């Protein structure tokens, strides 16, 4: 069924149709679209200012052109005025000269006046020509006067008598009438030109006044628009932004009960709605700030709060005066993530935390501090041992964990410290939560350096050791300037050949602690960020001293941090060039802690050093289970077998078999084999029989000072020569 269009537009209520209604609605929508939008409001204001500036520029340009035209007209009228005045002056001189010729005083005076009359007539003719050059209309007015046409005849009549003779009476009359008409003609021209000048001046003034009015109106409109924009900003927009900023600041400070005010501006209103949604969600998830997102276990913040409460005796059994704080770390957890993936690692962490909770009981608070690190605080009943509890925890973690698709066995390193409640009268000075965590962490550090898979209780020696290490970190920075560092060199003997190699070793003589072993100050340098400058000092000093031993080769140890250093290869090779050292004389030793298979930068650095001629050695081979994967990833030129593989060769057949297998594998991949730690004579034959290519240890020589290296090898050569 068809419907009449006019009927469809009529209101349903039967009221008369208003054709302006849709226009009003559209106008209101357009008003809301612009006024209630911060962006369009500012954009519209800027557009209006821009339009006003463009309009002002257009009007100014138009007025400038008009003023230029009016100024040209005024300049031309002034030029005509000046020319008419000069013409009047010439007419005056002509009249005076003619009067003087009526009755000259003498012949000489008559000659002078005749010349002046001629000059005046010429000046009148020139004036008429100048008027023609400026304005042809004025020229036609001047040339149209009969008096100017009869100028030449009057001049001839005045010059006709002999010099000194007076003019005839009739000539005098004609001269007077001619002068009167001449002056009248000049006056009429002067009046016409003066009127033209005045009209040009009035037009110029009118143009200037019009320009001033237009510029004033445009300036007033622009200022009014800018004032309206400033008023809108100060009265409406900035207060709304300020209120929104206050709400954001309160939300950032954790004040979730703040009232989010609505705004008439669409953008701010959308932000208000988003903030309100955030505030409501923040109320719901506030508890997540105290939970680990991956496992749901309590996090560090929750653990610190629980530890503070336990120190104050809140939320725990008041009969328990003591409690234990435990920090635990999963051994080699990085390889679990690398081999099974991070989701499996998170699942494993959750299972470890659950097993800890089951073993320690409901009073224990188990938290995940991050990664593979756990923290535990638990009250201790009378007679309960923290050391026994920690040992049971380590033992319980050795049982494999079932992840569904696989089973993973891990071990745990653990440090613990026992504390009492802060309100215990027997405590001379209560420990803060920071001090308890530090002591537990020091005990955990001792467990890791004690072989892992064990529990260690905190002792005063751990804190003293920690303070010494911090002091070493501080003092090492000044050791360079004080000259406390020096290099020593331990010979390396080739099997079946002449000894021609030394290993560069750094030593530190501390002014208070004496000789500090590298096993202590090298980690201190790595922790304090001094390993890179220390490593550079080592190879610069070693290469400068190798320059004096042209027949020797040298092994230099590199830190993993040096392999990560930007520009290390260039610095090292530049030092070789400065000391005239061929890189083929150098062995650069790295340990398996470099993790070459997971470190592309280290691989690139070692490849660049090898291409330059240096040979790369893997030090301490056999101390970690990742050494075999290193050999598959990178082709080493030399393997240095750790002394742990050598100590029982003479007495233990199993150690002998393991050692022989390691040497055979190294030789099969084309690498030299250096046996370290040859401290006794009975170890020489087994390592030679296994196939080692080089030997090093106290049986041959301890590290010697730089000035004794040449003496040592000189004695060796003399012994070989005498043999």
pLDDT digits (tens, 9 = 90+) for 539-573: 999 999 999 999 899 999 998 889 888 899 999 99
User: How many Cβ atoms sit within 10 Å of the Cβ of residue 82?
Assistant: 14
Cβ proximity of 419 and 322 under 8 Å: yes
Cβ proximity of 660 and 692 under 8 Å: no
Cβ proximity of 463 and 452 under 8 Å: no
Query: What's the pLDDT at 24?
Result: 59
Q: How far is CA 362 from the centre of its chain?
A: 50
Q: Return the bridge partners of 641, or none.
A: 621, 675
Q: Return the bridge partners of 503, or none.
A: 490, 555
289-292 contact pairs (CB < 8 A, 24+): 292/367, 292/368
Cβ proximity of 367 and 427 under 8 Å: no
Rounded Cα–Cα distance for residues 288 and 295 (Å): 12
Backbone torsions φ then ψ of 365, nearest 5 degrees? -115, 110
Backbone torsions φ then ψ of 148, nearest 5 degrees? -75, -25
Beta strands 672-675; 638-641: pairing state? parallel
Question: 3-state SS of 592-656?
Answer: HHHCHHHCHHHHHHHHHHHHCCCEEEEEEECCCCCHHHHHHHCCCCEEEECHHHCCCCCCCHHHH
Rounded Cα–Cα distance for residues 670 and 659 (Å): 17
Question: What does CATH list as the number for 475-722?
Answer: 3.20.20.450
Rounded Cα–Cα distance for residues 197 and 191 (Å): 10
Q: Please, what's the b/e burial string for 252-289 (b: 16 or more CB within 10 A of its CB; e: otherwise)? A: eeeeeebebeebebbebbebbeebbeebeeeeeeeeee
For the four alpha carbons of 207, 211, 214 and 216, in that order, the dihedral sign comes to: negative
Taking alpha carbons only, the member of 285, 287, 284, 240 closest to residue 260 is 240
Query: Where is 262: in which H helix or E strand?
Result: none
Taking alpha carbons only, the member of 581, 569, 561, 577 closest to residue 609 is 569
Rounded Cα–Cα distance for residues 355 and 351 (Å): 6
Query: Where is 571: in which H helix or E strand?
Result: helix 568-578
DSSP characters over 6-60: HHHHS-TT-PPP-TTHHHHHHHHHHHHHHHT-HHHHHHHHHHHHHHHHHHHHHHH
Angle at 522 between CA 516 and CA 526, to 5 degrees: 140
Rounded Cα–Cα distance for residues 375 and 370 (Å): 10
Taking alpha carbons only, the member of 336, 363, 290 closest to residue 351 is 336
110 DSSP assignment: H
Q: Return the bridge partners of 135, or none.
A: none
Q: What is the mean pLDDT of the chain?
A: 80
Residues of the chain with pLDDT under 50: 1-15, 143, 425-429, 626
> What tokens appear for 593 in the block?
């802690």
**What architecture is the 54-209 domain classified under in CATH?**
Up-down Bundle (1.20)
> What tokens appear for 127 in the block?
């004036």
Name 81's Cβ contacts closer than 8 Å, sequence gap at least 6.
193, 194, 197
Tell me if residue 370 falls in helix, strand or coil: strand
End-to-end CA distance of the chain: 128
Rounded Cα–Cα distance for residues 695 and 681 (Å): 12
669-697: per-residue pLDDT in tens? 889 999 998 988 888 888 998 899 999 99
Taking alpha carbons only, the member of 290, 694, 711, 699 closest to residue 498 is 694
User: So where are the chain's domains?
Assistant: 54-209, 291-458, 475-722
Taking alpha carbons only, the member of 649, 635, 628 closest to residue 695 is 649
Tell me if residue 494 falls in helix, strand or coil: strand
Rounded Cα–Cα distance for residues 393 and 382 (Å): 19
> What tokens appear for 336 in the block?
């679990």
For the four alpha carbons of 48, 49, 53 and 54, in that order, the dihedral sign comes to: negative
Supply the pTM of this predicted model.
0.54
Name 523's Cβ contacts closer than 8 Å, sequence gap at least 6.
469
Domain 291-458 has CATH 3.40.50.300: no
Q: Strand order of the sheet with strand 455-457?
A: 365-370, 373-380, 322-330, 412-420, 455-457
Query: What's the pLDDT at 136?
Result: 54
> What tokens appear for 693 in the block?
């290519």
User: How many Cβ atoms sit within 10 Å of the Cβ of residue 184?
Assistant: 12
Cβ proximity of 326 and 414 under 8 Å: yes
- The structure tokens 């590298």 sit at 518
Rounded Cα–Cα distance for residues 476 and 470 (Å): 10
């Amino acid at each position: 069924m068809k419907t009449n269009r006019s009927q469809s537009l009529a209101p349903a209520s039967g009221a008369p149709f208003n054709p302006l209604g849709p226009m009003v609605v559209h106008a209101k929508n357009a008003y809301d679209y612009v006024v209630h939008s911060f962006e369009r409001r500012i954009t519209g204001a800027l557009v209006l200012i821009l339009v006003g500036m463009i309009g002002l520029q257009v009007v100014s340009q138009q007025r400038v052109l008009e003023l230029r035209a009016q100024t040209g007209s005024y300049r031309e009228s002034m030029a005509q005025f000046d020319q008419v005045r000069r013409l009047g002056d010439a007419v005056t001189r002509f009249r005076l000269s003619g009067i003087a010729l009526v009755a000259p005083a003498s012949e000489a005076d008559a000659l002078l006046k005749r010349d002046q009359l001629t000059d005046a007539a010429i000046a009148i003719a020139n004036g008429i020509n100048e008027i023609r050059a400026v304005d042809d209309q004025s020229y036609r007015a001047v040339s149209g006067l009969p008096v100017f046409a009869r100028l030449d005849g009057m001049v001839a009549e005045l010059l006709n008598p002999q010099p000194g003779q007076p003019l005839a009476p009739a000539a005098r009359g004609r001269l007077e009438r001619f002068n009167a008409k001449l002056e009248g003609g000049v006056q009429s021209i002067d009046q016409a030109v003066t009127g033209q000048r005045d009209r040009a001046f009035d037009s110029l003034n009118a143009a200037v006044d019009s320009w001033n009015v237009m510029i004033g109106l445009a300036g007033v409109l622009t200022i009014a628009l800018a004032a309206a924009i400033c008023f809108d900003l100060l009265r409406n927009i900035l207060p709304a932004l300020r209120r929104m900023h206050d709400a954001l600041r309160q939300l950032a400070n954790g004040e979730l009960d703040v009232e989010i005010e609505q705004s008439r501006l669409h953008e701010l209103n959308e932000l208000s709605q988003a903030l309100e949604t955030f505030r409501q969600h923040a109320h719901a998830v506030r508890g997540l700030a105290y939970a680990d997102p991956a496992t749901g276990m309590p996090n560090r913040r929750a653990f610190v709060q629980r530890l503070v409460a336990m120190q104050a005796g809140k939320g725990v059994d008041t009969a328990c005066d003591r409690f234990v704080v435990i920090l635990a770390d999963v051994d080699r957890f990085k390889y679990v993530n690398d081999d099974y993936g991070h989701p499996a690692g998170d699942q494993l962490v959750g299972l470890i935390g659950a097993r800890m909770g089951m073993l320690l009981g409901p009073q224990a608070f188990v938290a995940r501090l991050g990664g593979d690190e756990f923290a535990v605080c638990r009250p201790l009943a009378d007679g309960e041992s923290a050391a026994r509890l920690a040992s049971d925890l380590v033992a319980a973690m050795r049982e494999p964990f079932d992840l569904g698709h696989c089973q993973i066995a891990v071990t745990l390193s653990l440090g613990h410290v026992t504390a009492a409640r802060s309100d215990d009268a027997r405590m001379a000075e209560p420990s803060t939560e920071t001090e308890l965590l530090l002591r537990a962490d020091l005990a955990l550090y001792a467990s890791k350096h004690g072989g892992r898979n064990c529990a260690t209780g905190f002792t005063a020696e751990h804190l003293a050791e920690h303070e010494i290490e911090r002091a070493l970190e501080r003092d090492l920075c000044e050791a360079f300037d004080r000259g406390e560092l020096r290099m020593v060199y331990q010979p390396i003997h080739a099997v079946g050949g002449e000894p021609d190699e030394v290993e560069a070793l750094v030593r530190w003589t501390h002014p208070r602690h004496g000789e500090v072993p590298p096993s202590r100050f090298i980690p201190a340098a790595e922790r304090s960020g001094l390993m890179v400058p220390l490593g550079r000092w080592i190879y610069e000093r070693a290469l400068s001293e190798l320059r004096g031993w042209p027949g020797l080769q040298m092994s230099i140890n590199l830190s993993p941090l040096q392999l990560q250093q930007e520009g290390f290869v260039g610095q090292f090779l530049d030092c070789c060039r400065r000391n005239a050292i061929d890189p083929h004389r150098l062995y650069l030793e790295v340990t398996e802690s470099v993790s070459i298979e997971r470190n592309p930068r280290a691989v690139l650095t070692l490849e660049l050093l090898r291409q330059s001629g240096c040979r790369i050695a893997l030090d301490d081979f056999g101390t970690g289970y990742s050494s075999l994967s290193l050999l598959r990833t990178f082709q080493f030129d030399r393997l240095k077998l750790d002394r742990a593989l050598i100590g029982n060769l003479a007495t233990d057949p199993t150690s002998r078999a393991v050692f022989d297998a390691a040497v055979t594998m190294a030789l099969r991949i084309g690498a030299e084999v250096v046996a370290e730690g040859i401290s006794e004579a009975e170890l020489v034959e087994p390592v030679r029989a296994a196939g080692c290519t080089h030997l090093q240890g106290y049986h041959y020589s301890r590290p010697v000072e730089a000035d004794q290296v040449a003496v040592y090898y000189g004695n060796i050569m003399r012994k070989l020569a005498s043999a």
